[in-house]
Structure 1
Amino acid sequence: KQQNMSIQVCAAAQSKPEIIRRTANFPPSIWGDRFMNYDSQDIITNARNQEEVEELKEVVRREVFTTSAGDFSHQLKLIDAIQRLGVAYHFESEIEEALERMHAAFHDHDFSDDGDLYNVALGFRLLRQHGYKISCDVFNKFKDENGSFKECLIVDVPGMLSLYEAGHLGIRGEEILDEALAFTTTHLDSAAKAHLSYEHAEQITQALERPLRKDLERVCAGRYMSIYQDEASHNEPLLKLAKLDLILFSLFSKMSSVRLLTYILKLHIQLMLLLIRWWKEVDFEKKLPFARDRIVELYFWVVGVYFEPQYVEARKFLTKVIALVSVMDDIYDAYATFEELEIFTAAIERLYAQIFYRTLLNVVDEIEEEIAKDGRSYRVYYAKESLKAVARAYFEEARWFNEGYTPTMEEYLPAAIVSTGYPMLSTVSLLGMGDIVNKGDI
């Protein structure tokens, strides 16, 4: 009888269909325990002296926003340097006031009519970056009678670089900016191969590889510092402030991408260590080994959203959420069967606490507890809804794959926009940003 029972069990086991899973075979994290071995005292060997920082801020504030207030060209260049060196967050109100005056000058044609290519393009870019409406018609004066950009502009490398960066701020239908981008890209590429000064050649190479509009501000600051400090007209107090602010005394432009990422993350090491410890505690590496281990890279991405010191809590919230959504993406795309995904999606809709979702719930609860102290807990509802929307979009794409169905563009776009994660991350990024958005704005 016992033998018959064993045969039945074996037969049942053999008849159970094998579950075929898609696996992406993601490589392990390249970082290992690199950041866990850092001593915060060793990292901050060149830590900024807060008193010196405050003194330098006052010097820069006086030189840029008081002494240079009437000289738009000089002030524009200094504001651009402040932004590119990554210290603009120290002077937000002063920059806005200065740009307000410049916008009025542009509007009255007091500046744009008389300015050269460098200054007009720089003013245009800075104003657009800060949300001011400014017409691209300011560039018409740099065209010849045939409607093309004047050939004499080609030798003006600073002007061409300024126009190139301005061209990236164009919107649909602004043909003159499309033309400006094509014109400057072609001629700057040629100029980079000519016998230019190191300063100009380096600026062109960096601009063509990573225009400001598409660069990470903190990474850009490190690269730009190596150029700015060699400029004869650089502002010494501003340069010193930027170095103290970055805790940086070496040239980023000479670093490999891995060393660059490592150095940037050193500047944020305390929060980085907290996040790595949290990631090890949730232990997805063992519990969900099919998922990507990318907590360091994800934090680096978040630094691109906001690196400023006042947003440390916001960076913590967003990094945890994006790390969990990355795992959720892998569950949908690289591991679970369609039948499991049906259950999983329903569980997320009900906030059901399984291994993954229990962790997500804990993070959401942590966020809600923190921002409730400032009376902003109402924001968590929108974060939860956006996370559910991502799960539904992932499931829709998984259903199409399971059925072998190719959706129409009209069917695909609504799901694809949500599954990119950007609408959700935009919502979550606002959770820890103080009064940047209020309940009445929603």
Structure 2
Amino acid sequence: MELTLTSLSPLAYGALNCRKNFAMASPRMRIKQGRSELPNLTITSKIDELQVTERRSANYHPSIWDPKFIESLSTPYTNEGYSNRLEDLKEEAKRVIKDARDTSSRLELIDSMQRLGVAYHLEEEIKEAIDLVHLDDTTTDDLSTTALRFRLLRQHGYPVSSEVFDQFRSKDGRFRDGISQDIAGLLSLYEASHLGLEGEDDLEEARRFSTIHLKSLVGNLESDLADQVQQSLEVPLHWRMPRLEARTSSISTKEGVEGANEVVDGLGFKEKLSFSRDRLVENYLWSMGIAPEPHFSKCRIGLTKFICILTAIDDMYDIYGSPDELRRFTDAVNRWDTGALVDLPDYMKICYLAMYNFANEMAYDALRDHDLYILPYLKSQWLNLCTSYSMEAQWFYNGYKPSIDEYLSNAWTSVGGPAAMAEIARGDVAKSIQCYMSEERISEEQARDQVEKLIGYSWKKLNEASTDSSLPKSMINSSLNMARSAQCIFQFGDGIGTSIGVTKDRLTSFIIKPIWIEPSTKPYLDGMKMSNRR
């Protein structure tokens, strides 16, 4: 099934049945600081006489990206020579995979291709190789190979038991001290432990064991290896946004940003919604994380438009709208009728029509291309989202601090437009860590630990749901990638609202200064061949 925005949208709202357990954002994503003093709102009862003496402001900085600069970006990949070179490299890589002589070589090649972001070129060859790996159940005393085999088989949907690690345990069930100095093995075990399912306590022990020893050894490692270990300890590979690690660019990246700019510019948000975040390029990064392969370019443009609309509505509920205005907007979404526009102020009319037209366009495309009528589902999910936003707005205006259960019950939906540290400073409702701190009367560090456990638990649910799902693999991957992208963008704070720091660096390395493919990559392929012969 081709991955399009139409086919992806139902999945985006929980098709993997993780609805009640979705708490995927990084703990830093929901950290809030002290509540700021807020301006008073004076609201009359009649719509025509509505006056808001002063509105809250998030003080978002303007976009740091000049559209003319983005348009000026060039890529050498449009040259015919690169197209021919690409085909040569694909054929050579296919031969390298087929010529792999043993399980260890096959595993290393598959892992390398996935990390480089080029596995989609070699799907058939990788499928054949992973089939051979699955059929070869020969045990090995090499922890790194055993853990890599476990991780890749689980990732590709093959049944494999966590009991494969029992050979590295002593009689008392604990991991043997002899592997505590095996850096490669510990790192591979750590990465594999994040493919665990609910109830697999042995993998939790593997994660704890590997984490403790990696932290104790990282200070004595060479810089490159130390950086790799530190990166994994912060965000394990299974939780990491695809493609970003490889820092490879392509024709579709530049063309995608340009296409998204043209589509989103037509919304008129920049001119009409000054309170909202103008973050086209940052939103495109998010869509790249969800559907990174070049042939999903149309899907990425549609996703970017969706995220821009979502961001505007999120900012409207979080920042700009008065309680009465927000109630009327939520009612209008429930009615799903352009006649409801008469009850809305002008800025809300813009938001409403953008959402309404986008949903109807998607429904039309689905009916035309796939004979599916999805409008009722889209309406329902937009209403769920706005109702969730409305609940958080009510909590804020009423000064109510929800319990952690109340917050998570509501946040599985509202996390679609997640907030970050700056939000309490501008007056947003308390998030998960603050809920834990208030409810349990514990420190921020203790609350952070609890949220970390929630994230790990939620990933187990996602792992289980993706394993049992009958949906196409591309849709499953995109659903998981939503969580990965959120982790990436909000890892060090609000990467959308404040995009000057890490987000800018990542976009610069990914779009503006990527690692270009050299005209000849023969030495690299020769190196892979040599690895196979060892």
TM-score of the two chains, using structure 1 as the length reference: 0.74
| Structure 2 residue matching 1:138: 3-state secondary structure | helix
Residues of 1 paired with 2:70 and 2:224: CA distance? 38
Residues of 1 paired with 2:108 and 2:303: CA distance? 34
Q: Please state how far the C-alpha of 1:328 moved relative to its aligned partner.
A: 0.4
Residues of 1 paired with 2:174 and 2:80: CA distance? 51
Contact 1:73 1:119 in 2 (8 A): yes
Q: Flag the 1:172–1:47 CA change in 2: closer, same or farther, 3 A.
A: farther
Report the equivalent of 2:90.
Answer: 57
Residues of 2 paired with 1:347 and 1:117: CA distance? 58
| Structure 2 residue matching 1:292: 3-state secondary structure | coil
Residues of 2 paired with 1:23 and 1:47: CA distance? 50
2:55 to 14, 18, 21: 21
Report the equivalent of 1:118.
Answer: 144
Q: Please state how far the C-alpha of 1:23 moved relative to its aligned partner.
A: 2.3
Alignment of 1:197-216 (within 5 A): 197-216=222-241
Among all aligned residue pairs of Structure 1 and Structure 2, give the percentage whose two residues are the same amino acid: 39
| Structure 1 residue matching 2:244: 3-state secondary structure | helix
Report the equivalent of 2:165.
Answer: 139
Contact 1:275 1:320 in 2 (8 A): yes
Alignment of 1:179-198 (within 5 A): 179-194=205-220, 196-198=221-223
- The alignment covers a number of residue pairs equal to 366
Cα shift readout 1:236-277 (whole Å, capped 9, x = no counterpart): xxxxxxxxx745xxxxxxxxxxxxxxxxxx861112112223
Cα shift readout 1:325-367 (whole Å, capped 9, x = no counterpart): 1110111110111111111111122333521121223323443
Residues of 1 paired with 2:166 and 2:51: CA distance? 70
Report the equivalent of 1:328.
Answer: 313
Residues of 2 paired with 1:205 and 1:409: CA distance? 31
Alignment of 1:29-428 (within 5 A): 29-33=63-67, 35-40=69-74, 44=77, 49-64=82-97, 66-68=98-100, 71-105=102-136, 110-111=137-138, 113-194=139-220, 196-222=221-247, 246=249, 268-351=253-336, 352=338, 354-421=349-416
Residues of 2 paired with 1:151 and 1:331: CA distance? 56
Residues of 2 paired with 1:386 and 1:16: CA distance? 30
Residues of 2 paired with 1:367 and 1:216: CA distance? 26
Structure 1 residue runs without a partner (length 5+)? 1-14, 223-244, 248-265, 427-432, 438-442
Contact 1:165 1:213 in 2 (8 A): yes
Cα shift readout 1:64-120 (whole Å, capped 9, x = no counterpart): 1x322x511111111111111111111223323332332343xxxx32x33410111
Q: Please state how far the C-alpha of 1:54 moved relative to its aligned partner.
A: 1.8
Contact 1:157 1:200 in 2 (8 A): no
Please provide the CA RMSD for this pair: 3.0
Q: Flag the 1:170–1:273 CA change in 2: closer, same or farther, 3 A.
A: same
Residues of 1 paired with 2:266 and 2:285: CA distance? 20
In structure 1, what residue type is equivalent to 2:244? Answer: V
In structure 2, what residue type is equivalent to 1:82? Answer: M
Report the equivalent of 2:479.
Answer: none
| Structure 2 residue matching 1:193: 3-state secondary structure | helix
Contact 1:163 1:180 in 2 (8 A): yes
| Structure 2 residue matching 1:80: 3-state secondary structure | helix
Cα shift readout 1:258-298 (whole Å, capped 9, x = no counterpart): xxxxxxxx861112112223333322222111111112111
Contact 1:317 1:367 in 2 (8 A): no
Cα shift readout 1:161-213 (whole Å, capped 9, x = no counterpart): 1111112222333222222222222322333221x445533432332343211
Structure 2 residue runs without a partner (length 5+)? 1-48, 342-348, 419-461, 463-470, 476-534
Residues of 2 paired with 1:176 and 1:317: CA distance? 42
| Largest Rg, 1 or 2 | 1
Q: Please state how far the C-alpha of 1:142 moved relative to its aligned partner.
A: 0.7
Residues of 2 paired with 1:93 and 1:165: CA distance? 25
Residues of 2 paired with 1:16 and 1:331: CA distance? 17
Residues of 1 paired with 2:192 and 2:222: CA distance? 23
Residues of 1 paired with 2:407 and 2:228: CA distance? 41
Cα shift readout 1:298-343 (whole Å, capped 9, x = no counterpart): 1101111111122112111211111101110111110111111111
Residues of 2 paired with 1:377 and 1:319: CA distance? 23
Residues of 2 paired with 1:48 and 1:337: CA distance? 58
Q: Please state how far the C-alpha of 1:373 moved relative to its aligned partner.
A: 4.5
Residues of 1 paired with 2:184 and 2:281: CA distance? 37
Contact 1:167 1:178 in 2 (8 A): yes
